[in-house]
Chains A and B, each alone.
Chain A
């Protein structure tokens, strides 16, 4: 397979305005981080450790959104059978796995000095971990199936069922915890922190959309390369 054959089938239109959006997303993220860190005073108990929240909390929020994307694109694939929807669902799941991992890692780094432990079986922590594992299973399914149509159809079904299971897992874990241990009441948060969190939530959303888009474009290019190889193998020539 020569690189020239791939390049010839890749339309230039895919390199549209998305890099501009990427620049915007990252600059917005940097600006939001600086703003949030600048306007919020050090926390009374946590000190500057609290700043980790500006990545951790928005990342967690965006991770909780991601099952909706997998659900939406999965259902749309089952409805339309368009390959693009399958690739979009897969891209969303991949990015969601990264964000879930980031959320868990940052949460642990924060929990160790604050709570004195790396991990506790809190409802939110536990359901985030289960979500991470479900996403990992989804990606493993995709990696282990070679036939394109079967992979698309099965991962759509697994994605839809997994997304439906997210609230069920959360509720059951919460109930499991409340029976054993009194839940901590949600702390009242100062306005300075709220502004920082909201700004960064939008920043994370933009970054996430950008990542999903880029991952999707990469998947599209891979598919085109595969098709080109198939065509070349069938002797019809790679160039159209």
Chain B
């Protein structure tokens, strides 16, 4: 079954990337510290008023993860380029989609762990009340992370191999992420606000729809990106 073989390839690539991250440690911890620093800076911008912070917290948390995540996305190809191993990775048997799936999986784990830290920091710093329906919150965070990581991993494949990659990735990625970010922020906000209007469910469904659309589109398009 070729699907199973592809899945094994993707898992092997993800495992390799995560192991590299685990052994260096510096990558994950510095990116996470950066995300928390961004949270703190947003706190200064919003001022010490607790209710203002609480209202802005969902947006601030997602933006902090986005800004720090950009570094992670470029990193996952930069490591390959530094080692000159991207060509070999492409030459291995199997489809190129397995490479994308592997990178996607590794980035998802990376960003999800970072998000976990940032969410806890955000809850403490902005005095957010944890809602009783917190499993739904976990679902929203996961769906938002999938959307973020899908587009991030895809555009980083191009940006990391261009000049001025630090500028190019956000420039390409941020406008594309508008729907995902809007849906993730609004769903999180609705849920943390007690889900009075029942908006959280609607926004979450929209978010999942965006995830599916972008997953399909990027998987189809990745071949064109990696082969040149």
CB distance from A100 to the nearest CB of B (A): 12
Which residues of chain B come closer than 8 Å to A165, judged between CB atoms? Answer: 175-176, 178-179
Query: B182 at interface (Cβ–Cβ under 8 A)?
Result: yes
Query: B183 at interface (Cβ–Cβ under 8 A)?
Result: yes
Which residues of chain A come closer than 8 Å to B225, judged between CB atoms? Answer: 153-154, 157
Query: B100 at interface (Cβ–Cβ under 8 A)?
Result: no
A169 lies within 8 A of B224 (CB): no
Given contacts A158-B158, A179-B186, contact A130 B178 (CB under 8 A): yes
A145 and B213 CA atoms in complex are apart in Å by 27
B228 lies within 8 A of A140 (CB): no
Which residues of chain A come closer than 8 Å to B40, judged between CB atoms? Answer: none
CB contact between B228 and one of A130, A149, A169 (< 8 Å): that residue: A149
Q: Which residue on chain A has the smallest CB distance to residue B177? A: A165
Query: A156 at interface (Cβ–Cβ under 8 A)?
Result: yes
A147 and B218 CA atoms in complex are apart in Å by 22
A161 lies within 8 A of B176 (CB): yes
CB contact between B206 and one of A137, A147, A172 (< 8 Å): that residue: A172
Q: Which residue on chain B has the smallest CB distance to residue A138? A: B172
A157 lies within 8 A of B186 (CB): no
Which residues of chain A come closer than 8 Å to B172, judged between CB atoms? Answer: 137-138, 140-141, 158
Query: A118 at interface (Cβ–Cβ under 8 A)?
Result: no
Q: Which residue on chain B has the smallest CB distance to residue A153? A: B228
B176 lies within 8 A of A176 (CB): no
CB contact between A144 and one of B163, B175, B176, B179 (< 8 Å): that residue: B163
Query: A134 at interface (Cβ–Cβ under 8 A)?
Result: yes
Q: Which residue on chain B has the smallest CB distance to residue A135? A: B175
Which residues of chain B come closer than 8 Å to A144, judged between CB atoms? Answer: 162-164, 168
A157 lies within 8 A of B221 (CB): yes
Which residues of chain A come closer than 8 Å to B171, judged between CB atoms? Answer: 136-137, 140-141
A172 lies within 8 A of B182 (CB): yes
A133 and B174 CA atoms in complex are apart in Å by 9
Interface residues as binary, B195-208 with A (CB distance below 8 Å gives 1, 0 otherwise): 00101000000100
CB distance from B225 to the nearest CB of A (A): 6
Query: B52 at interface (Cβ–Cβ under 8 A)?
Result: no
Q: Which residue on chain A has the smallest CB distance to residue B227? A: A153
Which residues of chain A come closer than 8 Å to B227, judged between CB atoms? Answer: 153
Chain A: interface size category: 20 to 34
Which residues of chain B come closer than 8 Å to A175, judged between CB atoms? Answer: 206
Q: Which residue on chain B has the smallest CB distance to residue A172? A: B179
CB distance from B119 to the nearest CB of A (A): 22
A97 and B155 CA atoms in complex are apart in Å by 21
CB distance from B98 to the nearest CB of A (A): 19
CB distance from A131 to the nearest CB of B (A): 8
Query: B210 at interface (Cβ–Cβ under 8 A)?
Result: yes
A134 lies within 8 A of B168 (CB): no
A176 lies within 8 A of B162 (CB): no
Which residues of chain B come closer than 8 Å to A158, judged between CB atoms? Answer: 155, 158, 172
* Extra A-B contacts (16), CB below 8 Å, given A141-B168, A171-B179: A130-B178, A141-B158, A141-B162, A141-B171, A144-B164, A147-B228, A150-B228, A153-B227, A157-B158, A157-B221, A164-B213, A165-B175, A168-B179, A172-B206, A176-B186, A179-B197
List chain B positions with a Cβ less than 8 A from chain A. 155, 158, 162-164, 167-168, 171-172, 174-176, 178-179, 182-183, 186, 197, 199, 206, 210, 213, 217-218, 221, 224-225, 227-228
Q: List 21 A-B contacts (CB under 8 A).
A: A133-B175, A134-B175, A134-B176, A136-B171, A137-B172, A138-B172, A140-B172, A141-B162, A141-B172, A144-B163, A144-B164, A153-B227, A153-B228, A154-B228, A157-B158, A158-B172, A162-B176, A168-B213, A169-B178, A172-B183, A173-B178
Q: Which 7 A-B pairs have the closest CB atoms?
A: A172-B179, A133-B175, A134-B175, A150-B228, A137-B171, A137-B172, A144-B162
List chain A positions with a Cβ less than 8 A from chain B. 78, 130, 133-134, 136-138, 140-141, 144-147, 149-150, 153-154, 156-158, 160-162, 164-165, 168-169, 171-173, 175-176, 179
